[in-house]
Structure 1
Amino acid sequence: MKREFDLKLKDFPTIPNSLRKNATKNFAKSSVDIDIARLFHHYYIDKHGKCPPSPDLSQFEPAMFLTNENAFRFSGSGFGNYPAAKQAGSNQLGQALFRWFLHDHCGITYFAHMHNCLNRSVHRGFGQIKINRVDDGDVPDYLCAKNTNQICIGEAKGRYRSIGFRTKEFDNWRNQFNRIEVVDKGGAKISVKGYIIGSRFATEKSPRVRSTIFAEDPATPGERGLSEMESDFIRKGIVSLHYARIVEKMNMPLLAAALESGSQISDELRPRATVWEFQLGIDNLPKRYVGGYWPKANGFLPFRIENGKPVHNPSDPFRLDSEDPTFIGIEESIFKQVAALARSNDNAGINVSQYPDPGPFYSAISTLRDGSIVAPSEFFIPVDVVEY
């Protein structure tokens, strides 16, 4: 399922090819389609912590309120029936749209919440680089990284009311970048690329308004840019924090804690995890994933063990309305690289790879370049158990 947003860009020196009217000309198109399953994937990973609900697309609250038209529009006045609820919901959805936009159109794969990075030098992933708060008030939401050494800082907003590049509100968002500074071991300020993604949501009550993404690529202060070595150190810290949020949802608290804190897992500890095989042959999509499923409220379990082997366990073979649990996992080879980050006493030599993005191919399945996947459990069978 897809929905359309209008698109407004500002200060992009080069328009990403995926956002161009014509691939040979540096002009942006006026609208962009969003895959709702992929948007939910970002929303779920970003919002929930250790004990999330089932990662089931059918339970994606914003999607329940969408109208049937092609444009992204909420029924009534939107989801949330009082101002505080509407503000919280729109901000959370705005953050998911920020991640989706940078992932699908700017090549950004890894996201860490800024509150996990500020004034923090103990995480070995950041080397001798530190991000300091220098003024009171809100600061940007994210520290992000590409697969290369490019690092960026990002601010995400979601609103029902009118926004625009020339508004006071957008100026306030720009000023958030001045409340932090990135410094090297000598205290010299470092310039880091920034993004502001503000999203306005349309509702049935305002039929003339269209949902719009406002994306700006602002200049950021600093005396110099990051060196390649500095970027690589920070990137590994961002990668560790990014995967900590995923593996905690896979019921791997030891690995999640090590990645979150930058500490090292002892070699004497050898937790085990289940490897599952994806049952569809999709080009560029790997077959083996480490993970597990979240059952439905009725407690239905899709497999049982007989003679040491998993056997499919249908809840009721005569009913057509039974629902399968939802699987969440990480591609096996990438998972092993992530686990190696948490085991190494010097992560400088460890790189976490990505796999080619197959793009949306089925409305109930979402994959991202970081190797994570969310899908109904019926698409997987358990095939192995590994130590990590």
Structure 2
Amino acid sequence: MNRTIEIEFNKFPLKPQENLLDSTSNNYLKCIDINLKKLTALYKIEEFDDYNKPKNYQEFPALKYLVPNTDLFKFQLGHPGKGKDSRKENSRVLGQTLCRYFNLEYFDAPYMANISDFIGHQLGNEFNNINIVRKSSGDTPDFISATNNKSISLWEAKGRRRIISFNETDFEKWRKQFDRISIICNNIEQSLKGYIFEVAIANERNKLPNSKILVEDPETSGERFDSNEDLFNLIKSGHYKRTLQKMGLQFIGDAIIYAEKLNQSKYSFPTYTSKKTKKEYIGIFAINFPFILALPYWEFGIIEYNQGIKQNSKHFFGIEKTIFKNLINVARGNREYLNSIEKRNGNFSNESHIEFEDGTLLCNPNLISFGKIEQF
């Protein structure tokens, strides 16, 4: 279930990296394939409070307006979005979701954190040699992503209804967003790659033949970045902070990156097992609202209560129990446990059971069985 989208590069190295290389021309790719299953899964995690009850890739509300019977990434009529505000919001979310997709597929970057989680916050002592600061007012880049301690980059994602070319004033305004922050390691400003990722969304009314990605690779101010393990760990921590927040566990996510840590008190969580892989997870069911159980859980038991939740859910989202244990220890101030969290092999072959490289799982609730209550 793929669609093709055009792509154009600016200020990239003359020699393309392997996964951006068109082998027939020995130049950069002119089109990339978008796996709608994976894109939808990313969207459902991105917009976790969207409880509409759709089907297959149309669970991404915007995608139900794709023109049928074509391999183009093009929308019907003036979609996605019915009104002006709806179109603007759909464009924003589509741009950010495709940016996450591009990082995973073409930059091999499983860790992506929101810059806003770092600016103006007191980071933990373990990140004392890292400082992410605002230099001036105005918008800053959206994300900072990482593959490892050497491959780290800033990203600004845009979604628009027309092609804004690299030489237009809007693109120049986007470039200035990278001048508003500094990434400082050991008191030295670092020059990271600063990617601008624009998605021009085609539909039947704006006459674009197909949607198009324009991505630019300018460098930011500072000394040339080589590597930094602490910055990589901060990004990894910020990535899992967002994941835990999606699971309603922001108090753990905050303790992973900020100065105030968890104490040694134990916390109890239900565990779940994938019927497909037998891996254990800590997670939640996304409930179809409105939903009311006839009795509260204390009237008939926690297992029966969880079964009721499961039967009225549209999907399960969780994180591997081994990773969760490590994150709890990191949140208590034991930073060495972060090094035990390694990239997984993702599995996107089954849209009912999608495993991401960061150890998270998005799947049909019927593919999950309730385990027991464990203390962490």
Between 1:124-133 and 1:55-64, the stretch displaced more is 55-64
Q: CA deviation at 1:128?
A: 1.9
% identical aligned pairs: 25
* Corresponding residue number in structure 2 for 1:319: none
* Corresponding residue number in structure 2 for 1:40: 40
1:197 aligned counterpart, secondary structure: strand
Change (3 A) 1:125 1:192: farther
Give the CA RMSD over aligned residues.
3.2
* Corresponding residue number in structure 2 for 1:152: 153
Change (3 A) 1:263 1:240: farther
* Corresponding residue number in structure 2 for 1:335: 324
Does structure 2 retain, via aligned residues, the 8 Å contact 1:142–1:154? yes
- Measured in 2, the distance between the counterparts of 1:130 and 1:331 equals 30
* Corresponding residue number in structure 2 for 1:111: 112
Change (3 A) 1:345 1:52: farther
Does 1:374 pair with 2:370?
Answer: no
Q: How does 1:309-320 map to 2 (within 5 A)?
A: none
- Measured in 1, the distance between the counterparts of 2:26 and 2:216 equals 15
Q: Which residue, out of 230, 233, 236, partners 1:236?
A: 233
- Measured in 2, the distance between the counterparts of 1:152 and 1:258 equals 24
Does structure 2 retain, via aligned residues, the 8 Å contact 1:293–1:325? yes
Q: How does 1:1-388 map to 2 (within 5 A)?
A: 1-13=1-13, 14-22=15-23, 26-48=26-48, 53=51, 58-68=58-68, 69-124=70-125, 126-186=127-187, 188-226=188-226, 228=227, 231-259=228-256, 261-268=258-265, 270-280=266-276, 287-297=279-289, 299=291, 325-347=314-336, 350-358=339-347, 360-388=348-376
Between 1:371-380 and 1:206-215, the stretch displaced more is 206-215
Q: CA deviation at 1:86?
A: 1.8
Q: CA deviation at 1:345?
A: 4.5
- Measured in 2, the distance between the counterparts of 1:375 and 1:54 equals 16
Change (3 A) 1:345 1:55: farther
Give CA-to-partner distance per residue, 1:319-368, whole Å, 9 cap, x none. Answer: xxx9853100012222222222112244587442111123x202344332
Q: CA deviation at 1:370?
A: 0.8
Supply the AA of the counterpart residue of 2:289: A
Supply the AA of the counterpart residue of 1:336: K
1:108 aligned counterpart, secondary structure: coil
Q: TM-score, normalised by structure 2?
A: 0.85
- Measured in 1, the distance between the counterparts of 2:130 and 2:306 equals 50
Does structure 2 retain, via aligned residues, the 8 Å contact 1:7–1:31? yes
Does structure 2 retain, via aligned residues, the 8 Å contact 1:10–1:217? yes
2:12 aligned counterpart, secondary structure: coil
- Measured in 2, the distance between the counterparts of 1:361 and 1:105 equals 18
Supply the AA of the counterpart residue of 1:10: N
Between 1:212-221 and 1:79-88, the stretch displaced more is 79-88
Supply the AA of the counterpart residue of 2:370: P
Q: CA deviation at 1:152?
A: 1.3
1:81 aligned counterpart, secondary structure: coil
Q: CA deviation at 1:77?
A: 0.5
Give CA-to-partner distance per residue, 1:236-293, whole Å, 9 cap, x none. Answer: 222222112222222334323323534321112x112222222235xxxx73222131
Supply the AA of the counterpart residue of 1:19: L
- Measured in 2, the distance between the counterparts of 1:343 and 1:164 equals 48
Q: TM-score, normalised by structure 1?
A: 0.83
Supply the AA of the counterpart residue of 1:46: E
Supply the AA of the counterpart residue of 1:292: I
Change (3 A) 1:238 1:124: farther
Does structure 1 retain, via aligned residues, the 8 Å contact 2:122–2:258? no
- Measured in 2, the distance between the counterparts of 1:260 and 1:64 equals 38
- Measured in 2, the distance between the counterparts of 1:72 and 1:349 equals 39
Give CA-to-partner distance per residue, 1:208-259, whole Å, 9 cap, x none. Answer: 4310111222222212425x4xx21122222222112222222334323323
- Measured in 2, the distance between the counterparts of 1:254 and 1:134 equals 29
Does structure 1 retain, via aligned residues, the 8 Å contact 2:153–2:194? yes
Does structure 2 retain, via aligned residues, the 8 Å contact 1:132–1:181? yes
Change (3 A) 1:81 1:52: closer
Q: CA deviation at 1:207?
A: 4.3
Change (3 A) 1:272 1:82: same
2:243 aligned counterpart, secondary structure: helix
Does structure 2 retain, via aligned residues, the 8 Å contact 1:264–1:345? no
Gaps of at least 5 residues in structure 1 are 316-321
Q: CA deviation at 1:298?
A: 5.9
- Measured in 2, the distance between the counterparts of 1:55 and 1:194 equals 37
Does structure 1 retain, via aligned residues, the 8 Å contact 2:3–2:33? yes
